[in-house]
Chains A and B, each alone.
Chain A
Amino acid sequence: MSTEQIAQVVDAKGLSCPMPIVKTAQAIKGLASGQLLEVLATDPGSVKDFTAWANATGNPLVEHGEEGGVFRFVLRKK
């Protein structure tokens, strides 16, 4: 678990494809380079989607996990 501060949290729980990714893309625009964005989602497809999104956009996925059916992704703004 990183001790770095999360700059913003996107709550995408309950949302279906493509909204978790769309909300993430919108939120990361507002961050400065190097800041961390946390996304919470319940869509099981989001696990692969966030890896793909991070690769395509160059914003690294620094942490991800699952707890009680909620997927948590931490992304660093490039």
Chain B
Amino acid sequence: MTAVSDPPVPAVEPAPAPEPAGEAKPRDILIIQYSGELEKTWAAMILATTGAAMGAKVRVFLTFWGLQAFVKDSRRITGDNVMQKMMSFMQRPGISHRKLSKMNFLGMGPWMMNKLAKQYNVASPKELLEIGQAMGVEFMPCQMTMDMFGLKKEDMIDGLGEPVGAATVIALMQGGDAPLFI
């Protein structure tokens, strides 16, 4: 008599592991910083630091005029060719040299804003940026903007991540990051 193998055990799906107890992980936040005006740079920095303070992973994609704000304050003229140099001449790069989109009045508007911010103990965009970096906010420069404006790694402030492209941004959104376009 030949040995009869045991009848196959009916496949039973293992019970799904219970959800880990405790709080759900907060959604990651993705800020697309496209604009470079003072008020929008400020808003982005406030939300980035607050997001990090609330325990969320925050990434800021720096593109077009948004990237200009992350050039070192000490750089005056950037770029290789005449047009790139003209662009930086017309709009000084750096987070401390942002203009208001309305009521700039040749710098009078930003001057008053900064004065009011000091009076009411509001942290400046530069202070918020430094706090954000210390709290682990990740800044991702846009490679295409770097190329178009002729910006080099050494023109940019310290602590930025590797330059990336739009696909990285879309992939993060598809992965569930809360997106914010400023």
Interface residues of B (CB under 8 A from A): 22-23, 26, 46, 49-50, 52-55, 120-123, 128, 131, 135
Kindly list chain B residues whose C-beta atoms are within 8 Å of the C-beta of A22: 49-50, 53, 131, 135
Residue contact A53 to B54, C-beta cutoff 8 Å = yes
Chain B CB within 8 A of A2 CB? no
Do most interface residues of chain A lie in helix, strand or loop, or is the interface mixed? helix
Q: Complex: how many Å from CA A53 to CA B51?
A: 10
Name B135's contact: one of A14, A25, A52, A56 (CB within 8 Å).
Answer: A25
| CB closest chain-B residue, reference A58 | B23
Chain B CB within 8 A of A24 CB? yes
Residue contact A17 to B121, C-beta cutoff 8 Å = no
Chain B CB within 8 A of A47 CB? no
Give the interface centre of A14, A25, A58 by most chain B CB atoms within 10 Å: A25
Residue contact A56 to B54, C-beta cutoff 8 Å = yes
Give the interface centre of B22, B53, B55 by most chain A CB atoms within 10 Å: B53
Chain B CB within 8 A of A34 CB? no
Name B53's contact: one of A14, A16, A25 (CB within 8 Å).
Answer: A25
Residue contact B121 to A25, C-beta cutoff 8 Å = no
